[in-house]
């Protein structure tokens, strides 16, 4: 890594200073005025990519904003870092690793990427081929359980990146599923999920995919051990493990220790971050559920965006634009919470997915030189299914004291032709919210409405301030023609690269997650104390008392 680049603090760049000046120029221009000033504003601020339309015109920006933001990316050497990432340089410096999730969906057969002298593309193709063969065996009923029956249930056991991505994709693409297969996800350590699962499924027609990059994650390994105990108790024969337990991991040794045979292990390299790992072995549950062809198209979708990201100029580059607009909103408009608002039910877990991807990557406050930074990085990512959320927290978005920015996401074509009216209502809601949040309402309009409604002037005066909606809330709209493996792959890769771009500009490391380690370490110690008979007094008084309270109740 070039040390000089690591010293590029975004706030010291010319572009940052220009952006501060520029902010003063346009801070009082409302979205309403931006649109009044330029009747063709949409034409200027949208990008179409295959079946995806990205409309960023409802942001508080003009052409100049995009120009300076683009220069900021250039000053921060974005292009150089994109090259470094794709070519396998060890840009995850604190873990001394390359960052190569893009290699998992690389369709350029001539590409070679060497890590420690080994062409990792060969390992990737090996795993993909293995996934193909295995998924065909399961889906065609060739792979049999211990009573010689075909498999009907897939249980993915994993947490974080080994869970959220697969669960989200499976839910999103369930219309592509094989109807003979049921899929379940076990993630957290609360025993209730396992308890209910055991009551629901027949073991002899179930495979368990133990998904863990490290194969040491407490929740996953504990769940795995409990399942294994249950399985052995029931089948009374360890020999059957090979028919029902699969591992997806980068730690083959650990998986083997637990008795999973090598041929049941789907490997990936430690150069894939957990939250970026859905594109290969960790996506096995997806591949089983929607079939290899569809899984392959899903990879293709991401690859298309990889090419777009690498090759397209900034003004037309969707991930870069999304990132730059985010930086404008966070660092200049000082909006520190961002909502993901998918409107289609099948994208319900997309919020969770982006939450981990973005907050675990860019929730950092020291720069790449280890120096504390004094500008904001990752905002709070939250959200919900748009239409449902309209009836819960949208009030806060319209009239609360905290400003938010939004990504509205919707796909148009669905399968339910006889429910066409639902589709239209959904889209009208989607549009009405992007419009209302941007433009709010008009004084005259409110008064007129109130006069008709209430007749009496005194109520009009009283109610008026409560009815005012200022609007001016910035949003992006991402519209897909349809949700398919390809377009979902497009969408997910856009966000992955957006996060990468922001990390480069903020000068932070996006691919480690040291923050989560402390909690893991502390929980190990506390666990030992929960088993001790004596009263605990080695922590702060709150923790001591809570441990002792737990013991009193549990025993």
What's the Cα-to-Cα distance from 31 to each of 43, 97, 186, 290, 454, rounded to whole Å? 16, 43, 45, 42, 31
Q: Are the C-beta atoms of residues 279 and 159 closer than 8 Å to each other?
A: no
The residue among 91 and 450 lying less far from ligand F6P, judged by its C-beta, is 91
C-alpha distances out from residue 215 to 92, 266, 416, Å:
21, 12, 41
**Residues 463 to 522: which contact ligand F6P by CB under 6 A?**
513, 516
The distance of closest approach from Cβ of residue 249 to ligand F6P in the complex, given in angstroms and rounded to an integer, is: 8
Cβ proximity to ligand F6P, 159 vs 246, nearer residue: 159
Contact 201, 512 (CB under 8 A): no
Task: Report the SS3 class of residue 50.
Answer: coil
**Two structure tokens written together for 429:** 């809601």
State the Cα–Cα distance between residues 206 and 269, nearest whole angstrom: 27
* Pattern 430-469, ligand F6P, x by CB under 6 A: ----------------------------------------
Q: Does 280 bind ligand F6P (CB under 6 A)?
A: no
Which CB, 276 or 406, lies closer to ligand F6P? 276
Q: Which two tokens stand for residue 510?
A: 């996006």
> What is the CB neighbour count within 10 angstroms for residue 202?
11
Q: Does residue 254 have an active-site annotation?
A: no
Q: Report the residue number, 220 or 476, with the smaller CB distance to ligand F6P.
A: 220
Nearer CB in complex with ligand F6P: 156/162 = 162
Tell which residue, 99, 366, 144, has the closest CA to residue 244.
144
Whole-number Å distance between alpha carbons of 240 and 230: 13
Interaction of residue 269 with ligand F6P, rule CB under 6 A: no
The site map against ligand F6P for 125-144 (x = CB under 6 A) is --------------------
SS (H, E, C) 333-356: CCCCEEEEEECCHHHCCHHHHHHH
Nearer to ligand F6P, 162 or 484 (CB): 162
Active-site residue flag, 391: yes
* Total of chain residues touching ligand F6P, rule CB under 6 A: 14
Residue in 10, 145, 166, 274 binding ligand F6P, rule: CB under 6 A: 274
HEC string for 262-329: HHHEEECCCCCCHHHCCCCHHHHHHHHHHCHHHHHHHHHHHHHHHHHHHHCCHHHCHHHHHHHHHHHH
Report d(CA 552, CA 555) in Å as an integer.
6
Cα(126)–Cα(306) distance, rounded to whole angstroms?
A: 22
Min CB(356)–ligand F6P separation in Å: 7
Beta bridge partners of residue 413, listed in sequence order: 482
For position 165 contacting ligand F6P by CB under 6 A, the verdict is no
Binder to ligand F6P among 217, 235, 475, 507 (CB under 6 A)? 217
Rounded to whole angstroms, the Cα distance separating 510 from 112 reads 24
Whole-angstrom distance, CA of residue 237 vs CA of residue 258? 15
Q: Is 275 in the site for ligand F6P (CB under 6 A)?
A: yes
Query: Does the protein bind ligand F6P through residue 213 (CB under 6 A)?
Result: yes
- Describe the crossing of helices 164-172 and 350-362 by its angle, rounded to 10 degrees: 150
Residue 162 or 329: the one with the smaller Cβ distance to ligand F6P is: 162
341-360 mask for ligand F6P (x: CB under 6 A)?
Answer: -------------------x
Active-site annotation holder among 219, 304, 358, 360? 360
In this structure, what token pair is assigned to residue 155? 């249980």
Shortest Å distance, C-beta 74 to ligand F6P: 31
475 token code pair: 């949003």
With contacts defined by CB under 6 A, name the span among 90-98, 207-215, 411-419, 430-438 that binds ligand F6P: 207-215
Q: Using the rule CB under 6 A, is 60 a contact of ligand F6P? A: no
Among 103, 120, 124, 159, binds ligand F6P (CB under 6 A): 159
Is 220 a residue that touches ligand F6P (CB under 6 A)? yes
Q: Which of 27, 422, 520, 532 is an active site residue?
A: 520
Give the separation between CA 426 and CA 444, rounded to whole angstroms: 29
Residue where the block lists tokens 């397209």: 312
- What's phi and psi for 335, nearest 5 deg? -100, 115
Interaction between residue 404 and ligand F6P (CB under 6 A) = no
Q: Residue 106 interacts with ligand F6P (CB under 6 A)? A: no
Nearer to ligand F6P, 160 or 166 (CB): 160
Contact residue for ligand F6P among 214, 222, 226, 548 (CB under 6 A): 214
DSSP per-residue string spanning 293-305? HHHHHHHHHHHHH
Question: Closest separation between CB of residue 328 and ligand F6P, Å?
Answer: 28
Check if 520 is active-site: yes
CB within 8 A of 261, min separation 6: which ones? 241, 242
Question: CB under 6 A: which stretch of 74-82, 190-198, 208-216, 447-455 binds ligand F6P?
Answer: 208-216
Q: Which is nearer to ligand F6P, 159 or 494 (CB)?
A: 159
Beta bridge partners of 475: 406
Interaction between residue 51 and ligand F6P (CB under 6 A): no
**What is the contact surface with ligand F6P in residues (CB under 6 A)?**
159-162, 212-214, 217, 220, 274-275, 360, 513, 516
Which residues are designated catalytic? 360, 391, 520
């Amino acid at each position: 890594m070039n040390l000089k680049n690591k010293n590029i603090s975004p706030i010291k760049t010319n572009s940052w200073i220009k952006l501060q000046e520029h902010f003063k120029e346009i801070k009082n221009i409302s979205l309403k005025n931006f649109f009044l000033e330029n009747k063709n504003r949409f034409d200027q601020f949208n990008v179409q990519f295959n079946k995806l339309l990205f409309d960023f015109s409802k942001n508080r920006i003009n052409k100049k904003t995009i120009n300076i933001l683009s220069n900021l990316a250039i000053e921060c050497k974005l292009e150089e870092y994109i090259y470094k990432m794709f070519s396998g340089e060890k840009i995850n410096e604190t873990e001394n690793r390359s960052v190569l999730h893009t290699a998992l969906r690389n369709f350029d057969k001539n590409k070679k990427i060497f890590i420690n002298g080994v062409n990792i593309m060969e390992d990737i193709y090996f795993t993909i081929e293995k996934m193909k063969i295995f998924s065909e065996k399961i889906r065609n009923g060739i792979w049999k359980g211990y009573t010689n029956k075909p498999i009907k249930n897939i249980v993915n056991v994993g947490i974080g990146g080994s869970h959220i991505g697969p669960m989200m994709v499976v839910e999103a693409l369930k219309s592509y599923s094989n109807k003979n297969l049921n899929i379940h996800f076990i993630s957290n350590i609360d025993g209730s999920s396992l308890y209910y699962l055991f009551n629901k499924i027949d073991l002899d027609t179930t495979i368990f995919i133990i998904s863990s990059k490290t194969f040491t994650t407490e929740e996953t390994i504990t769940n795995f051990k409990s399942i294994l105990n249950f399985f052995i108790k029931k089948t009374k024969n360890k020999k059957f493990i090979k028919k029902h337990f699969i591992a997806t991991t980068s730690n083959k040794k650990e998986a083997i220790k637990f008795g999973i045979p090598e041929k049941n292990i789907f490997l990936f390299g430690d150069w894939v971050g957990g939250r970026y790992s859905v594109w290969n072995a960790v996506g096995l549950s997806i591949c089983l559920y929607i079939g290899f062809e569809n899984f392959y198209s899903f990879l293709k979708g991401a690859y298309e965006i990889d090419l777009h990201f690498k090759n397209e100029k900034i003004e037309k580059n969707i991930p870069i634009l999304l990132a730059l607009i985010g930086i404008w909103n966070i660092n200049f408009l000082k909006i520190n919470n961002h909502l993901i608002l998918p409107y289609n039910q099948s994208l319900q877990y997309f919020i969770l997915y982006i939450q981990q991807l973005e907050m675990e990557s860019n929730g950092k406050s020291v720069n790449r030189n280890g120096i504390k930074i004094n500008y904001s990085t990752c905002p709070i990512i939250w959200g919900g299914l748009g239409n449902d959320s309209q009836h819960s927290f949208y009030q806060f978005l319209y009239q609360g004291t905290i400003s938010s920015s939004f990504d509205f996401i919707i796909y148009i074509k669905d399968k339910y032709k006889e429910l066409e009216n639902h589709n239209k209502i959904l889209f009208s809601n989607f549009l009405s919210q992007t419009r209302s949040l941007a433009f709010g309402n008009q004084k005259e309009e409110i008064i007129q409405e109130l006069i008709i409604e209430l007749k009496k002037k005194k109520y009009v005066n009283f109610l008026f301030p409560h009815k005012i909606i200022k609007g001016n809330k910035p949003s992006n709209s991402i519209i897909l023609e349809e949700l398919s493996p390809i377009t979902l792959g497009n969408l997910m890769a856009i966000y992955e690269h957006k996060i990468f771009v922001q990390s480069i500009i903020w000068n932070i490391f996006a691919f480690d997650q040291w923050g989560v380690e402390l909690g893991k370490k502390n929980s190990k110690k506390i666990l030992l104390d929960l088993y001790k008979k004596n009263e605990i007094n080695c922590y702060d008084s709150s923790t001591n008392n809570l441990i002792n309270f737990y013991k009193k109740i549990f025993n």
